[in-house]
Amino acid sequence: MAYSAVLNLSHPLSAEVVSVFPGDPAPRIDTIATLDEHGFHLQAVTVGEHTGTHWGAPAHFTAGAATADRLAPGDFVLPGVRIDISARAEHDRDYALTVDDLLEWQDRHGAFPAEAAVLLRTGWERHWGTDDFASVDSQGRIHHPGFSVAAVHWLLDHGVLGRRGALGTDAFSPDIGIDDTFRVSKLLYREHRLSLEILAHLGDLPDRGFTVVVGGFVTAGGSGSPASIYALIES
């Protein structure tokens, strides 16, 4: 299949930008060697597995589930669709994608592909690099849009998240931020699917007609990895 463009869906990894879920370890980047002193440039990067743009493996929330090194290559290459709820989320930071939203998307764009990466554009990327990305209120609760549990059940029941698949978001998590029980994440991981989080440039994607390619560390026993994620746009 020919591709007309390749889009980067990842934020650059930086120690200067807050890029982790509150309480997770911040990334650290140390210069080990310089061209002037050593003849080559080298940095040491220390990160948590869920730093910046990243993917989560089923073992992140599910005992005995697949770790990073037990996932199949096909889990990381999936047909993609984009669902844009940014207009709704602009007025409701706790907005959760509904089954009606899925049916509306399908009426406009045709049937969902099977075993897909369903990428949710919430518009939260506009807060990247600011304290508003976590949007913590005075009670310490995080706020950002996400998927509803009912919508994820619909995607599972209709084969969109088939034997493999993924949910993706430009926010911290596929859950709405105020759900500190992570019901969507736990459902997703229990069904052996991936979560693609803190994605970038979803506004540049078409609604369908692209392939998502996910890279990162394949760590023994890993729960996920910082990631380079790309969309291959079909001609």
The pair phi, psi for residue 170, each rounded to 5°, is: -90, 5
Over residues 205-224, mean pLDDT = 97
CA distance 81 to 30: 37
**Residue 126 has what pLDDT?**
93
**Residue 129 has what pLDDT?**
87
- CATH superfamily assigned to domain 3-14+49-234: Putative cyclase (3.50.30.50)
**Residue 82 has what pLDDT?**
98
Q: Is the pLDDT of residue 1 over 80?
A: no
Q: Is the pLDDT of residue 2 over 90?
A: no
Percent of the chain with pLDDT over 90: 93
Domain boundaries, the chain: 3-14+49-234
Over residues 2-30, mean pLDDT = 91
User: For the segment 71-126, what is each residue's pLDDT rounded down to a tens digit?
Assistant: 999 999 999 999 999 999 999 999 999 999 999 999 999 999 999 999 999 999 99
Q: What three-state secondary structure class fits 194?
A: strand
Over residues 160-177, mean pLDDT = 96
E-only strand ranges, the chain: 3-8, 28-33, 42-46, 54-56, 77-84, 96-97, 117-121, 146-147, 166-169, 194-197, 208-214, 224-226, 229-234
